[in-house]
Structure 1
Amino acid sequence: GPAKYKQMRKGIKLLILLIGMSCEQKEEVRDYLIHVPELITLSGKWVSTDTVDMEPSIRNFQGQATLNRDLTSISWLAAAPYTGGYHTGTMRVNGKTPICKLFKWEAHQALRKTEIDSISIQSATRMVPDKHLILWEVIFKNESKRVQELVVEQDQIGFVSKFGGEWQWWYPYPKLDGSTTTRDDETENIRDHLGQGITSKEALVTELINGKPTQTKKVATWPSDMEIMEAEKFITEERKDGFLTRDTSSAAMTAFQNFVPTNERRKFQAGGTSFWNFSLKPGASKIVRFAMAFGDDREAIDHLLDFGQRGFVEEWDQVETVWNDRWYELFKRDNNILSGTFPILETDDERLKKVYYKGPLTMLYLMHTNLPQHEKVFLTGGPRWGASITFFWDITEWATLWAVVDPEMMKEHLTSWIGIDPSSHYGQDNFGGSGVGNGYSANYWALFQMIRSYVTVSGDMDYLDQIVKDKTVLQHLEAYATNWKRISIYGQNGAQDEVYKLADFGDDEWNLLECVPTYKHIVPSFNAGYIWMMRETAELLELRGEALKAAEMKTEAEEMVGRLLQLYAGNGVWNSLYPNGEKIEVRHCLDFMFLGRYIPDDIPEDIKKDMMDFVYRELITDHWMRAQSLQDVAAEDSDRADHGPLGAFDGWPAGTMDALVQLGFPQKSMDFYHSITPVTEEGIWAQAHELWGDSKLKKNAAVRIAKRGWHNRESSAGIAMSQVVLKNFFGFYPSVDGAVIQKNEGWHMEGKLYHVKYKGEYYTLSSSDKGIQMIKE
């Protein structure tokens, strides 16, 4: 645990001191890991459940699940090819289901705490790394001055099935009447009413209809816990101090085992109930421990639950040890997880450090190693959605950093992704292997940016000549960069004006920002992306001696800039252009981000000033930002925490910081970076953080991880916050022509980044008043 690491670090520091005193060495002895925070210090804080929208999760590099608001059950268990339905069973104390009052997320476990009848209860739930095994420890303490008699009942429900085939963002899971991929509010209603004995209510019900969340008002009903436990889809038998449940429609089996002897057990179809009776003197405590294993082989499940000589406590402690070991491994050169290294940040700036190190923790937390398409993947989200999916858009948000951290993995993934049609799919199912979901307007830019990042950072220019799907990688890049021509509607009725020689993304907002109904057709953001892609492709063609073709592309890009600037609406915001000359003003961060990041030198100074005024006046808040201005004409119709006016996708603050630097305002970017530090206290990066509470319309809005709108608890795009340090504050952004550091004129920060892998060698980046130095290690 942490004590072991503190001791180890003290020992290393002492050893360094002794070596320095005892001999004169030319080479400095360093323990770079002393700059890496201990994993436990990056945990979330205890958070009151009445302020939490999204409950904490647990993961183990193979599976994931979400805690519920009782003390023990979990839901949305997914570890391909297995998923769980409803929940794993609640606990009752003297006939009542204790409801959680406090949550705390840690990388290796999630904690719940409450008090009922002067009995304090704290539970911890851990997933054992790399195993289909979940452990629970529940501590009861008598806070009263009298002896208390407790009857503790724990339902242990084995509602797990096994699924093959292709998985989508909405992965399959079992229900009473079989299996489904349809997403509705049934499981969420069960989760919201655990222990309340309520099984129906009139409500706005959200259902996935034609791939889109749709709300209708109706009487929602859901099964009771007893109906779930009596599901005929399962058969249960008793096993050694527990239960074994078999799914009759798949090979899945689930077993529970108690590690504190029970007083009684009752068997049902889909599991059973275990009972403990005990007497607690004032101030006394009692611990209940149990485990759940699942798979398709009885012997293997028995083996998982047989801890042998080491016992439950050692298995329990080992979970934290493995997480600590893998955490530190990320930052070592020649480590056994990555083909590169996550750069180590040395700085006295504690706020900078706190936000930066949430990136590698998010990356480690989303790492899965049991999905058949790749040896290792960084999932985009989870646990409720996307248990096997990687989105191109999310992972490209930290493309430069990924190329530093794991270039071999990146190349292997990109080679696979090039074979997926970006006009049809937004990502890959790492379980079944195929493309998933609908086409996204972002895909061409996302794939282009990743490939460009890989070749410029790794130096593997030969990759451009590799044949993938009958074309060289460079030819694919050309196709991505010129895709705007294929989707332009120039020349059609209502689009004869020259300004229509831009990319038109169609009239389905779902392919772009999903919830912003006005952001469609010709939008500025991704057109700026295409201008950048054309210019970057021209640079690559010049390297190949294709000067004429390169010059043509550069000319086309210049002409696109002129057309794009015609979409300026004034006051720092931009128009979307529809057919027949109709313009709709859209006050969204995406235009600021993309124009600022990709064509900053083409924006006239007066427009730059207006854009800066807009982003601070209407988007950036005290501790987060709005994706969309409250003053946008479609604000009321766009209320989703990631892309609407009451929050932002976790990639947007990082993209905004990047744009601020490219526009020449690095100190403003750093100030914004500092201001989001409190957001890290709930856990790691999420799909979105929302602005909520009485102050949600104000600058001082409270911020939390969002669940409403079917959001994910964690998501990979926020790793881009760490890329801001590498790319923007240290200037590491290799260009096609070989320039590595892009300097921030007249500004610097104090600090070092160790182990930055560039062209197969490791470098230290040192930033001081002397500028940025790049020193080979």
Structure 2
Amino acid sequence: MNPTIPTAADLAADPITHHDDDLVAPPGLTNFLGTVRVDHDLTALTAVQFPPVSQGLTQTAALFVDGRLFTSFGVPVTHAWRPDRVVRSAVVDDWGITTTTVCAPRRTAVVIDVVVENRSSRERTVRIALSVAARVTRSAHAWGDAESPSARDTAIAADGRILLHSADERAWSVQGLDVPSAARLSGVVAATEDFDLGIGGNGRGGELVVELSIAPGASRRVGYTHAIATDRATAEATYDAVSADVPAVVADAERYWDAQLEAAFTPGNGEYSGHLPVLDTTSAPLRRLYWWAALGLIWFRREFEGNVLGRTFDTLMPNYWGSTTFIWDYSLSSTSHALLDPAEMRRQLTQWIRLDIHSHFGTSSLTGEPVGRWYSVNDYAMTRLVHDYVRFTGDTGFLDEEIGDAGTVMASLLTWSRAWHDLRTGSGSGLADYGEIDNLLECVSSYTHEVASLNAANVWNMRTVAAIARIRGETEIADGLEAEADALIPAVLSLYQDGAGCFAAGQPDGSRLPVRHCYDFSVVGTTIAGDLPPIMRAEMTDFFRRELQTENWMRALSPWDPDASFSVRPDHQWNGAYPAWPADAGRALIALGAADTLVAWLEGLSRTANQGPMGQAHFVEEAQPGIGGGARKAPPQLPYITDWACSSSGAWIELVLDGVFGLRVAPDGAVTAGGCAALLDPDAVLRGVRIGTRTVDVHADGRVEDSPA
């Protein structure tokens, strides 16, 4: 029997040993109510946030050993991440210190179980202290910046714990130890709000201190709890409940995460309105990538009290853009959302349709407000989302639902499919101008205006909406969209650079800048591959192999592109790639006739599934050495500013379903299959794919059969 449902232990990252400021991204934890960053020392935590309470990137619980800051010893620390916990360990002055950090299930709290072992030959006493800080606040508005709000707090020492609260007492933090200890205030006056904490310090509320006498070879433990709430009584009650038995909370976290993972693959589970199909295969690389993707999808579920939609899926964690869902990133996991949680997806789509998708990049789950500027991809993203929702759920009635001023959902689809008309300029190219760097990839200065990717997507949008119109009997609309899509193809292909395998970006002055970027490769390849002449498909594939593909990851931008000198942000530049780009490139390879390239690549890619959920970017090894054979996650600090985890990992589920198994589901529910799965495992099966009211098994040889009851 092949393993089909992972446990938390199955998804454990490779242990990483590092020093304090190495380029190792600090990992995160979540319990779906909030998130926390687990820092490089043995106990420190940053960005402990449980919406609606936030505190930016404030750090707390930094460790002191016998009065000295632990980090200053310079000893290596090993951290080992799993979905339920992070274990950190080090040895200093013959003290072996191991800590286990978890987000308490169903509570707005984080705990750390600290075990200190005396590795000397004599009984000794060690003084353990944790420096306590918080900048908790409750904003009345959406968290409109990458870093969540924070504010100066008032600190109180009481009953062996330290409480910190906002000026309006609408945000509270309670921190303490579960053994007799001292809680002392620092006596330091908090900095004024106009003082830059990022330069000048972290803030000091106080410290928690305990002395442990330990016999040689023996160990003692102490538990730390950090509880968050919007009022003092709730914060203290949460603290009391969690700190009463910290080891039990650690054990509960494992059970909780094992149950969450099982639910994600189980029809009729009590956690999600749908489920993901089970992958039954002997191919360990394919299984590892599929499980990695599933973990990264459910990792971003958020259902804190006051969430305007009840449940949402965030985009990044644990550093940036908490409580924000980006349309673009959500759409890259579109098929996965439609399968796992279609009820949530329907609510999210309804919210976005009600707003003007041409004026923001996402929305806040705190308030429902739009966040950020326009992202050029939004028309393509929304068309893809509605299409996937309808074809996998069979909920065609959604198309006739009236939503605010937008009219019916079908009317919105028609609007999005032709929105490019209003983006055409006087250049005479017939192509849409998708704006400036901030509307597109943000760190590639030449990727602006008339880009091949989104103009090819316009062809796909029109054909997709035409197919939906046709099953509704709207033949005239369908014919018109299909004719217009066909007519646009020559203009898109005019951007192609003969012999190079890449495309140019048309500029307002009529010039064209060649851009050697994966986004053109992937979107053109997944939207209009059938319209490309054979020589173009071959050249594009050669370009990918030659300039973008690496053994275990890929470059988003070719290092032979002049813009490679513009930025070192690795999600879209030469030194790495955003997590969805290898998956989308894989689907493009299959569509372009190069499935063998993908199949040979999968083993290397699977080695990168060794550091927890997919990061916002992973480096290629020319930029930074790998970790355990995988491409290293990029860290959050400048100049990289990329987060430890990103929600677009569902793109890899689509790679497996749509690419490897060749699953095709039409808007009317018709199903076919036939991909390259047999090259990996001729007996591989996707079991339990839900399509409307049917549940089917998809076989490597292309057979689609109803699943056994």
Deviates more, 1:650-659 or 1:665-674: 665-674
| Residue among 674, 683, 686 paired with 1:743 | 674
Change (3 A) 1:722 1:420: same
Distance 1:118 1:631, change over 3 A: same
SS at match of 2:309: coil
Q: Do the aligned partners of 1:238 and 1:267 also contact (CA within 8 Å) in 2?
A: no
- Is the aligned partner of 1:59 residue 2:30? yes
**Letter paired with 2:597:** K
Query: What SS class does the counterpart of residue 645 from structure 1 fall into?
Result: coil
Matched AA of 2:144 = Q
Contact 1:88 1:159 in 2 (8 A): no
**Residues 165 and 323 (structure 1 numbering): CA distance in 2 closer, same or farther, change over 3 Å?**
same
Output one character per residue of 1:670-703: Cα deviation in whole Å (capped at 9) or x when no partner: 3222221111111111211112566779xx9953
Counterpart code for 2:473: G
1:11 aligned partner: none
Match of 2:166? 247
Residues 6, 262 of structure 2: 8 Å contact kept = no
| Aligned residue in 2 for 1:272 | 206
Secondary structure of the structure 1 residue equivalent to 2:174? strand
State the SS of the aligned residue for 1:727: helix
Q: Which residue of 2 aligns with 1:150?
A: 126
CA distance in 2, matches of 1:255, 1:579: 56
Letter in 2 for 1:461: T
Alignment partner, residue 532 of structure 2? 603
* Contact 2:615–2:633 (CA under 8 A) maintained in structure 1: no
CA distance in structure 1 between the aligned counterparts of 2:490 and 2:41, rounded to whole angstroms? 59
Q: Give the structure 1 partner of residue 542 of structure 2.
A: 613
Corresponding letter in the other structure for 1:639 = V
Which residue pairs with 1:758 in the alignment?
691
SS in 2 for 1:393: helix
Does residue 261 of structure 1 match 2:214? no
Is residue 683 of structure 1 aligned with residue 655 of structure 2? no
Distance 1:475 1:82 in 2: 38
C-alpha separation in 2, matches of 1:572 and 1:701: 28
* Contact 2:489 2:531 (C-alpha < 8 Å) held by counterparts: yes
| Structure 2 residue 555 is matched with structure 1 residue 626 | yes
**For the structure 1 residues 344 and 694, does the alpha-carbon distance in structure 2 shift closer, same or farther, using more than 3 Å as the test?**
closer
| CA positional deviation for 1:266 | 2.1
Structure 1 residue 593 corresponds to structure 2 residue 522: yes
Deviation of 1:747 after TM superposition, in Å, equals 5.3
The alpha-carbon distance between structure 1 residues 414 and 309, as it changes in their structure 2 partners (threshold 3 A), is closer
Whole-angstrom distance in 2 between the partners of 1:125 and 1:158: 18
Provide the residue aligned with 2:409 in structure 1: 473
Asked if the contact 2:42–2:77 (Cα under 8 Å) also holds between the matched residues in 1, the reply is no
Per-residue CA deviations over 1:728-756 (Å, capped at 9, x if unaligned) read 12222312354322423895543112221
Q: Does 1:351 align with 2:260?
A: no
- Tell me how far 1:248 sits from its aligned partner: 2.3
Tell me by how many angstroms 1:509 deviates.
1.0
Determine whether 1:517 maps to 2:450. Answer: no
Partner Cα separation in structure 2 for residue 384 and residue 695 of structure 1: 21
Counterpart of 1:374 in structure 2 is 309
SS of aligned partner of 1:656: helix
What is the deviation of 1:719?
2.2
Indicate whether 1:127 and 2:103 are aligned.
yes
Q: How does 1:404-443 map to 2 (within 5 A)?
A: 404-443=339-378
Judge conservation of contact 2:113–2:247 (CA < 8 Å) in 1: no
CA displacement at 1:480 relative to structure 2: 0.4
Contact 2:165/2:172 (8 A) holds in 1: yes
Q: Determine helix, strand or coil for the equivalent of 1:703.
A: coil
Which residue in 2 is equivalent to 1:235? 155
Classify 1:532/1:298 alpha carbon distance in 2 versus 1 (closer, same or farther; 3 Å): same
Q: Are 1:138 and 2:138 counterparts?
A: no
Q: Which residue of the partner structure matches residue 228 of structure 1?
A: none
Matches within 5 A, 1:281-296: 281-296=215-230
Task: Please state how far the C-alpha of 1:469 moved relative to its aligned partner.
Answer: 2.5
Aligned to 1:207: none
On the 8 A contact 2:466/2:477 being kept in 1, the answer is yes
**Paired amino acid for 1:164:** A
Give 1:605 shift.
0.4
SS of 1:333 mapped into structure 2: coil
Aligned: 1:299 with 2:233: yes
Report the CA distance shift for 1:309/1:715 in structure 2 as closer, same or farther (over 3 A). closer
Q: 1:546, CA displacement in angstroms?
A: 2.8
- The answer to whether 1:502 aligns with 2:431 is yes
CA 543–367 in structure 1, closer or farther in 2 if over 3 Å, else same: same
1:555 is aligned, of 483, 489, 513, to 483
Q: Deviation of residue 166 (structure 1)? A: 2.0
Q: Could you tell me which residue of structure 1 aligns to residue 663 of structure 2?
A: 732
Q: Which amino acid is the alignment partner of residue 664 of structure 2? A: Y
Conservation of the 8 A alpha-carbon contact between 1:380 and 1:391: yes
Match of 1:49 among 10, 13, 18: 18
Query: Among 329, 332, 341, which residue is 1:394 paired with?
Result: 329
| Gap change, CA 1:693 and 1:542, over 3 Å in 2 | closer
Pairing 1:486–2:461 present: no
Larger Rg: 1
Could you tell me whether the CA contact under 8 Å between 2:37 and 2:45 is conserved in 1? yes
What is the aligned partner in structure 2 of residue 92 from structure 1?
64
Q: Does structure 2 retain, via aligned residues, the 8 Å contact 1:253–1:295?
A: yes
> What letter corresponds to residue 554 of structure 1 in structure 2?
E
Question: Residue 775 of structure 1 aligns with which residue?
Answer: 706
Contact in 2 for aligned 1:307/1:315 (Cα 8 Å): no
User: Residue 260 of structure 1: SS of its match in structure 2?
Assistant: coil
Residue 669 of structure 1, CA deviation: 2.0
Structure 1 pair 670/600, CA: closer, same or farther in 2 (3 Å)? same
For 1:24-77, what per-residue CA distance to the aligned partner results, in whole angstroms no more than 9, with x for missing partners? xxxxxxxx9952122212111111225543101121111111122222121122
AA aligned to 1:248 is: A
Counterparts of 1:147 and 1:47 in 2: how far apart (Å)?
Answer: 31
Contact 2:225 2:243 in 1 (8 A): no
Q: 1:33 to 1:307 in 2, by over 3 A?
A: farther
Contact 1:366 1:716 in 2 (8 A): yes
- C-alpha root-mean-square deviation of aligned residues, in Å? 2.3
Name the counterpart of 2:83: 107
> Counterpart of 1:236 in structure 2: which amino acid?
I
Q: Any conservation in 1 of the 2:671–2:704 contact (CA below 8 Å)?
A: no
- In 2: Cα distance, 1:353 partner to 1:753 partner: 11
The answer for the alignment partner of 2:647 in structure 1 is 716
* Structure 2 residue runs without a partner (length 5+): 188-203
Of 133, 136, 160, 2:136 maps to 160
SS at match of 1:174: coil
2: distance between equivalents of 1:308 and 1:250? Answer: 22
The CA deviation at 1:398 is: 2.0
SS at match of 2:620: strand
- How far apart, in 1, do the equivalents of 2:519 and 2:465 lie? 23
Q: 1:597 to 1:542 in 2, by over 3 A?
A: same
Distance in 2, matches of 1:308 and 1:516, equals 47
SS in 1 for 2:125: strand
Q: Is the 8 A contact 1:691 1:701 kept in 2?
A: no
Shift of 1:404: 1.7
Once residues 110 and 701 of structure 1 are traced to their aligned partners in structure 2, the CA distance between those partners, rounded to angstroms, is: 19
CA contact (8 A) 2:105 2:249 kept: no
Alpha-carbon distance in structure 1 between the residues aligned to 2:60 and 2:109: 13
User: Contact 1:686/1:718 (CA < 8 Å) preserved in 2?
Assistant: no
SS of 1:534's partner is helix
What's the secondary structure of 1:45's corresponding residue?
Answer: coil
One-letter amino acid of the structure 2 residue matched with residue 293 of structure 1? A
SS in structure 1 of the partner of residue 270 of structure 2? coil
- Rounded Cα–Cα distance in structure 2 between residues aligned with 1:57 and 1:348: 31
Shift of 1:760: 2.5
2:474 & 2:243 partners in 1: Cα distance? 69
**Unpaired segments ≥5 residues, structure 1:** 1-31, 179-232
3-state DSSP class of the match of 2:458?
helix
